[in-house]
């Protein structure tokens, strides 16, 4: 009996089985075509090192795991092929983690080809469109897309389908002091609260208003009013301590005042530096003082 030859040529088969290839094909060994959706064993998928979201709430994961046990994974995860029979998550890490908790041996996955920069860009953009993502994570994702994917704000606007002004408003959140960013990250305040605080120039005042907002559970409008009240108050500059001229210089000042018949002022600081001010009322008065000086 003749052994059936493989439908693949030796050259193509070697490419498909190479650990370095980014091409996949459907064959009897269980590999899959790039662009297809297939059930891939979980042990053959590694997590995305470019995942911008590094906090997953345990309770929510357990709830999702229970749902997956009952109904399975409705929306496939997205992976890229790393090499022969190896894959890496592009998006869907929360579903992937929950599937592992649920004890699934394989997950449905959409397979595509991507380089590292494309991986980062896709992960960040997918992350931005999550409904449960807080404003700070969105802001960080926008900034990373600008910095690490070499995008302009106009290009980014087209990629994510958001107005340029919306992107700018998110990125401005990253200028807030750390305590405000932490409160935003932990959902103690909303983006509306944070945007009101951006208009406060003084960092100490920003933190004071933050603490008031959290402690008293102030609404966005209440925080805006508080910001307006603080900015409306004139800051009183502390009065400089008046320096008293030593007695001997006061005597000299009085003698000069008498001699020039005009009120002489001597200004002197604690280091001994200063000046003598001789006022005059007119050109004739100035000439009169000059004549006295040259006598």
Active-site amino acid positions:
93
User: 93 with 48: CB under 8 angstroms?
Assistant: yes
> Helices marked H in 129-163 — which ranges?
135-148, 153-160
User: 77 with 106: CB under 8 angstroms?
Assistant: no
274 DSSP β-pair partners: 268
Q: Radius of gyration of the chain from Cα atoms?
A: 36
Q: List b or e across 76-86, with b for residues whose CB sees 16 or more CB atoms inside 10 angstroms.
A: bbbbbbbeebe
Query: Which H helix or E strand runs over 209?
Result: helix 203-216
Q: Is 170 exposed, middle or buried (0-12, 13-18, 19+ CB in 10 A)?
A: buried
């Amino acid at each position: 009996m003749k052994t059936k030859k493989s439908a693949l040529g030796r050259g193509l088969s070697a490419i498909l089985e190479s650990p370095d290839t980014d091409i996949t094909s459907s064959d009897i060994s269980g590999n899959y075509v790039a662009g297809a959706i297939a059930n891939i064993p979980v042990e053959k998928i590694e997590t995305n090192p470019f995942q911008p979201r590094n906090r997953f709430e345990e309770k929510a994961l357990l709830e999702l795991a229970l749902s997956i046990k009952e109904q399975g994974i409705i929306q496939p995860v997205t992976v890229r092929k790393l090499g022969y029979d190896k894959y890496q998550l592009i998006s869907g890490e929360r579903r992937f983690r929950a599937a592992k908790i649920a004890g699934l041996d394989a997950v449905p996955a959409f397979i595509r080809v991507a380089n590292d920069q494309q991986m980062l860009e896709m992960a960040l953009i997918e992350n931005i469109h999550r409904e449960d993502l807080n404003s700070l994570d969105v802001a960080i994702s926008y900034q990373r897309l600008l910095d690490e994917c070499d995008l302009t704000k106009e290009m980014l606007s087209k990629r994510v389908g958001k107005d340029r002004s919306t992107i700018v408003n998110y990125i401005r959140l990253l200028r807030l002091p750390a305590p405000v960013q932490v409160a935003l990250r932990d959902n103690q305040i909303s983006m509306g609260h944070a945007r009101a605080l951006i208009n406060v120039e003084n960092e100490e005042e920003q933190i004071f208003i933050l603490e008031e907002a959290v402690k008293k559970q102030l609404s966005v409008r209440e925080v805006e009013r508080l910001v307006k009240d603080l900015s409306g108050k004139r800051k009183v500059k502390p009065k400089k301590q008046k320096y008293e001229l030593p007695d001997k210089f006061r005597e000299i000042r009085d003698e000069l005042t008498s001699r020039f018949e005009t009120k002489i002022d001597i200004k002197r600081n604690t280091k001994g530096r200063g000046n003598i001010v001789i006022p005059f009322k007119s050109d004739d008065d100035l000439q009169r003082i000059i004549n006295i000086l040259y006598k």
